[in-house]
């Protein structure tokens, strides 16, 4: 099958590389020339484990190519996957300008039937809008179908998630179009849910909103644990032994971030409001998440007092491990608040340093975690990279001015940290207890 993918970001590039890997001829298009030039040279513009190799191999054997001319991709491909950004607009609702622009290009460039498969996360009803735009710009000369196929991959394990998905969701009004998309995914042997366009679009938002809800829920439980002297890790362990309560996305910490949950929760609140419904729980989820970052900074100021003249080392800049994506990263927000309170910040991240430099120029960036901790009054661990889980506390104790660790992801055993001579502050943890 000849496939076009529009947008070579986290979703588009993974989609293109994986479909090529499954034996299809794929052309990936993006209006960002710099990205396309890099990809043509065999370099990937983003850090995603396993992606660069997949891109190189498939490009070498001629199954994967790149262009900055979206119209060219439309002309060469019967099936067009759309994976452009849908960032939040000023009122929180998804900004559909990139999706609309692609629909216009498809309409103008199509030279026969086209199947447009939307992977971008879009408000309910967008599939119909895309279809109207294609019909208008093409003059209705050629037939087309629009299918919704929301993407559930997670950055950091995107290739695995694409190749071994829990499910594939296909929303369509024409069953034959849905069948064509299902055939493309057949080699993955995944459960396929076929539904109408509106329900498919709703499934994506509902999934993300529910995962965000789990995180905010357990963060509130952690905040109560701190007041009553319970330990949220033990609470989670006890609760999730109940097979109705899945432990994924159920760990307390500084809250969620990234390019999806913050924008998708806001968008769903907006979708509900437009439909005349006040989505109260989801509004609370968003508020709790924002407050969780401030609470973390408040803990630091409580212990250190006035932050003027103090140095805080921050481990982790990306919004989660195994990615260099810093979009809506809790770390950036927390660092901003520390700087605003007068602290000097030294930061380290295994792969996101370059990305962060532009966003936060007033931070000292270190090339290794212990150099970042040198002379620091406190260490704040904000992203749960494996490298941080295996910290050498002896080395850390030598580097830091004051032995104080704020574990924003609850990755350490408080007893172990305390045994190494540190004061430990987690999220909802009972510090000062004996090792189990």
Residue numbers at the binding site for ligand NAD (CB under 6 A): 6-12, 29-32, 35, 70, 83-86, 98, 101-102, 119-121, 151, 153, 155, 259-260
CB of 430 to ligand NAD, least distance (A): 34
CB of 124 to ligand NAD, least distance (A): 14
Q: Which residue is nearest to ligand NAD (CB)?
A: 9
CB of 102 to ligand NAD, least distance (A): 5
Structure tokens at 418: 């305390």
SS3 30: coil
Which of the following is catalytic: 18, 28, 172, 260? 260
Instruction: Please give the radius of gyration of the chain, using alpha carbons only, rounded to the nearest integer.
Output: 23
The answer to whether the beta carbons of residues 151 and 83 sit under 8 Å apart is yes
How far does Cα 62 stand from its chain's mean position?
A: 30
CB of 181 to ligand NAD, least distance (A): 16
Half-sphere exposure of 282 (CA within 13 A, CB side): 23
CB of 263 to ligand NAD, least distance (A): 7
Instruction: Calculate the dihedral angle through the C-alpha atoms of 6, 12, 17, 18, rounding to the nearest 10 degrees.
Output: -120
The answer to whether the beta carbons of residues 374 and 346 sit under 8 Å apart is yes
Residue closer to ligand NAD by CB (options 157, 199) is 157
Residue closer to ligand NAD by CB (options 150, 414) is 150
d(CA 66, CA 175): 31
Residue closer to ligand NAD by CB (options 151, 349) is 151
Known active-site residue 28? no
Residue closer to ligand NAD by CB (options 32, 306) is 32
Query: At a CB cut-off of 8 Å and minimum separation 6, what does 250 contact?
Result: 214, 215, 218, 236, 239, 240
Residue closer to ligand NAD by CB (options 125, 421) is 125
The answer to whether the beta carbons of residues 167 and 190 sit under 8 Å apart is yes
Query: At a CB cut-off of 8 Å and minimum separation 6, what does 196 contact?
Result: 171, 172, 173
Beta-sheet strand order (sheet of 423-425): 364-365, 344-348, 311-315, 378-381, 404-407, 423-425
Catalytic residues: 260
């Amino acid at each position: 099958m000849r496939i076009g993918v529009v947008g070579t970001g986290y979703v588009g590039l993974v989609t293109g590389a994986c479909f090529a890997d499954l034996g299809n001829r794929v052309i990936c298009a993006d209006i960002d020339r710099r990205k396309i030039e890099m990809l043509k040279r065999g370099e990937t513009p983003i850090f995603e484990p396993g992606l660069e190799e997949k891109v190189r191999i498939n490009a070498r054997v001629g199954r994967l190519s790149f262009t900055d001319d979206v119209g060219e991709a439309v002309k060469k491909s019967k099936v067009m996957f759309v994976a452009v950004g849908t960032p939040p607009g000023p009122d929180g609702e998804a900004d559909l300008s990139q999706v609309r622009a692609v629909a216009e290009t498809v309409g103008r460039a199509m030279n026969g039937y086209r199947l447009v498969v939307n992977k971008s996360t879009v408000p309910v009803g967008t599939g119909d809008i895309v279809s109207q735009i294609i019909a208008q710009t093409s003059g209705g000369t050629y037939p087309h179908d629009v299918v919704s196929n929301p993407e559930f991959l997670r950055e950091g394990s995107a290739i695995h998630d694409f190749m071994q998905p829990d499910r594939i969701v296909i929303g369509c009004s024409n069953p034959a179009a849905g069948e064509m998309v299902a055939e493309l995914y057949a080699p993955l042997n995944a459960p396929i849910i076929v539904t109408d366009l509106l329900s498919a679009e709703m499934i994506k938002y509902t999934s993300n909103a529910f995962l965000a809800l789990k995180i905010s829920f357990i963060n509130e439980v952690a905040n109560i644990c701190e007041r009553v002297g319970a330990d949220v890790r033990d609470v989670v362990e006890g609760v999730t032994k109940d097979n109705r309560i899945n432990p994924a996305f159920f760990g307390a910490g500084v809250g969620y971030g990234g390019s999806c949950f913050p924008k998708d929760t806001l968008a769903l609140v907006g979708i509900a409001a437009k439909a005349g419904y006040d989505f109260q729980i989801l509004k609370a989820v968003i508020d709790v998440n924002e407050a969780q970052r401030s609470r973390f900074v408040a803990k630091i100021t409580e212990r250190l007092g006035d932050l003027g003249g103090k140095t805080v080392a921050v481990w982790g800049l990306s919004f989660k491990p195994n990615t260099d994506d810093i979009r809506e990263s809790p770390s950036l927000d927390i660092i901003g608040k520390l700087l605003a309170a007068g602290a000097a910040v030294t930061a380290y991240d295994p792969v996101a340093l370059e990305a962060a430099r532009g966003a936060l120029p007033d931070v000292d960036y270190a090339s290794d975690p212990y150099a970042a901790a040198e002379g620091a009054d406190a260490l704040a661990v904000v992203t749960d990279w494996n490298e941080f889980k295996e910290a050498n506390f002896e080395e850390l104790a030598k580097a830091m001015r004051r032995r104080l660790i704020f574990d924003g992801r609850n990755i350490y055993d408080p007893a172990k940290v305390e045994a190494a001579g540190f004061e430990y502050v987690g999220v909802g943890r009972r510090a000062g207890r004996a090792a189990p």
